Structure 1
Amino acid sequence: MLWAAAWLHRATNDEIYLDYLGASTNTGGIRTVFSWDDKFLGAQLLVAKGSKNVKKTPGGLLWFLEWDGLQYVATASLVAAAYAQSQVDYILGSNPKGMSYMDGFGSNYPTQPHHRGASIVTIKKDPKPVTCQEGYRVWFNRNAPNPNVLDGPIVGGPDEHDAYIDTRSDYQLAEPATVTVAPLGGVLARVATN
């Protein structure tokens, strides 16, 4: 609701949405992630972009100091861009395992994403129908690469120690989801436009 209110304020400039944000008391404390079920950081960013709590020039440049003011804007932009690029590089294979976490990208990527359709033999190889139960019992629980490569989705990724075991049964690390690939698509689109 907070993120929606922030977007509505940005679209309409109607103060009722800022009032709603300001009146919210149960925001859940400090946030460290922006995720599918917690958009609080996104709401904060949108409000910061649209509010007057950050000094800007009339043309929209962040303003810190008179002397060499662009230094601060440039360095802040560099830090954000470099951090984003290093994280994209990690996802795509510049990591201790040398593994791309995007299925089908590069030469070393997960072969057992937690994905039911990819784990079942294609009808092009075996035209015999596979029931739901058979798909789960016979195909999904096999410890072998998926018969179908999912080109493009990103699995959940490694644990906090950079460990990743390519096993379909570990849904926390192996499940591909649109909530992972969609924001990466946004980052890559932004990098491509520069």
Structure 2
Amino acid sequence: MTTSWQAYKVDEKNPGSDVAGETAAVMASASIVFRKTNPHYSHLLLHHAQQLFELGDKYRGKYDESVRVVKGYYPSVSGFKDELLWAALWLYKATDNEAYLSYALDKANEFGGITWSMNEFSWDVKFAGLQIIASMLLVEEKHRKLAFELVLKQYRSKAEYYLCACLNKSNESNVKRTPGGLLYVRQWNNMQYVSNAAFLLTIYSDHLQTLNRRLICDRGELGSEEVRVFAKSQVDYILGENPKATSYLVGYGSRYPQRMHHRGGSIESYGENKGFIRCTQGYDNWFHRKGPNPNVIVGALIGGPNEKDEFSDDRKNFMQTEAYTYNTASLVGVLAKLHGLEDDGVFNSPLTASR
């Protein structure tokens, strides 16, 4: 990729609380992952996470107001308040510093954490995720003091609203489903909502199992196993158990999309063509070709079918064939869980199909 790239930044004069908060959350969570295997790196991540959170909180504003060029691509529809709450909770998990928990509790109402009832979790809208993190803190004895418990239970109410909506057990706003059973939120890259929902449902299923508790919804109760089975059904659909009998995870199974909307997939590799390829050349010479992509982007989860389970394998159909890292990221977590259950003999699924 030889195209010139313009770099932008957020700072005191050009605030971007959403992108600062999201990056702080990423670094704080990663610091937990690397705490034992690479303590120095873990400490470095946490240090910068705290700096970024302080920057985002002190100089508040949406990043697409400071870096206006992104408005046409990735505008922050939900604003920055969800990302600040998201960051505070991850920093609390990484540091056990009660100041971060107090931030998430004190600002729960003002920032929408306990007022927004959600039926999606996405790269932009973090409310459902942070509501689930907050609600799970109720397990620990130290969070049952009155000052904490009241707000955490309100977080839990909103978290379970999201889960019940995904499970079609709400009286108010259930997530739609395709005839084949896939959760359907909107036409552009619907799979992000599917993989994210499957991930959060799986996490909460474990939580319910630990507590020996059932999920209570408007239209009935569900046990941890029922929640997990539904999450698995979404993964099974992704991997090929659907009306098209197509895997939407590129490179997986015997049948998967051949013309995903991806520059690296659709242009010949350097090994095959060592000539200089300008940006427009990629579009002019390869984008409109009818044949399969020369390179298989293994593990890419594309946008997926429409509300009728219909899918067109065409590079120009970017709403369905474009791939996103935030689709695959949450799917990996669910696959890891299902793989463990499969090894324990709990589930049989398409995961075994192409080992």
- TM-score of Structure 1 vs Structure 2, range by shorter chain: 0.7 to 0.9
Paired residue total: 180
Q: What TM-score do you get using the length of structure 2 for normalisation?
A: 0.47
Shift of 1:29: 2.7
Within a 5 Å distance, the mapping from 1:1-194 to structure 2 comes to 1-22=84-105, 23-24=107-108, 25-27=110-112, 29-51=116-138, 52=144, 53=153, 61-62=210-211, 76-194=223-341
**Counterparts in 2 of 1:14 and 1:120: CA distance versus 1, 3 Å:** same
Contact 2:260–2:315 (8 Å) recurs in 1: yes
Structure with the higher helix share, 1 or 2: 2
Taking a change above 3 Å as real, the CA distance of residues 95 and 16 of structure 1, as seen in their structure-2 partners, is same
How far apart in 1 are the matches of 2:246 and 2:210?
39
RMSD over aligned Cα atoms: 2.3
Shift of 1:119: 0.6
Q: Tell me the secondary structure at the aligned position of residue 193 of structure 1.
A: helix
- Please tell me the residue identity of whatever aligns with 2:132: L
Please give the alpha-carbon distance, in whole angstroms, between the structure 2 residues aligned to 1:102 and 1:116. Answer: 17
**Contact kept? 2:302, 2:320, Cα under 8 Å:** yes
Gaps of 5+ in 1: 55-59, 66-74
Gaps of 5+ in 2: 1-83, 139-143, 145-152, 157-208, 215-221, 342-355
Structure 1 position 130, deviation (Å): 2.5
1:176 Cα deviation from its structure 2 partner? 0.9
Structure 1 distance, partners of 2:88, 2:256, is 39
Q: Read off the aligned partner of 1:45 and give its amino acid letter.
A: I
Contact 2:213/2:223 (<8 A) preserved: no
SS at match of 2:223: helix
User: Is the Cα contact below 8 Å between 1:143 and 1:168 reproduced in 2?
Assistant: no
Corresponding letter in the other structure for 2:284: R
Q: Which has the higher contact order (CA 8 A, sep 6+)?
A: 1
For the 8 Å contact 1:10–1:50, the answer to whether it is kept is no
CA distance in 1, matches of 2:278, 2:92: 49
8 Å contact kept, 1:10–1:46:
no
Structure-2 change in CA distance of 1:64 and 1:30 (3 Å): closer
Q: 1:127 offset after TM fit, Å?
A: 3.6
Q: What is the Cα deviation at residue 129 of structure 1? A: 3.3
The answer to whether the 8 A contact 1:121-1:148 is kept is yes
Tell me how far apart the structure 1 counterparts of residues 267 and 289 of structure 2 sit (CA, whole Å): 10
**Structure-1-length-normalised TM-score:** 0.82
Shift of 1:151: 1.3
- The CA deviation at 1:15 is 3.6
- What is the aligned-residue identity percentage? 41
Q: CA deviation at 1:32?
A: 1.0
- For the Cα contact (< 8 Å) 2:116–2:127, is it kept in 1? no
